[in-house]
Amino acid sequence: MLEKTLVILKPGTLQRGLVGEITRRFERKGLRLAGMKMMQLTDELLTQHYAHLSGKPFFQRVKDSMMAAPVIACCFEGVDAIHTVHDMAGATNGRAAAPGTIRGDYCMSFQENIVHTSDSPETAEAELKRFFKPEEIFDYKQATFEYLYANDEY
């Protein structure tokens, strides 16, 4: 089944000049880019996004890190995209992430870990609504689609 999922390229990704490299990996995998925008995150939006961390001592530090520079919010689509993208990102702690994953190849930190990815269909739906207006996510036929999947996979 085709799914849409959120990827946020964090401030460190921009600062380190890795935006093209990271988006390239998702595109090379065969995921379709359905939306992309640069934005400066606010404390209000991050308080909502990281509400599950609000009781943790590092809550403000996480929000400050995400506001240090703009981010790039992306919507990728594909069969089992949520699971695929989350696996491609690797373990949250870059030091523990397997080589070959985005975090395993590009970071050494638990917090400064290059990307945020949705971890479930429910999370993806809520996060996409949080970061994108409906008209900012595009539905178009990707020319290579027939070469990515068997006709009974989607």
Cα 133 to Cα 112: distance, rounded to the nearest angstrom: 27
Residue type at 49? H
Angle at 66 between CA 23 and CA 119, to 5 degrees: 60
Terminal CA-CA length for the chain: 5
Quick one: residue 2, left, alpha or beta (phi over 0 = left, psi -120 to 50 = alpha)?
beta
CA 83, distance to chain mean position in Å, is 12
Exposed/middle/buried for residue 44 (C-beta within 10 Å: 0-12, 13-18, 19+): exposed
State yes or no: is 52 an active-site residue. Answer: no
Instruction: Return the active site residues.
Output: 116
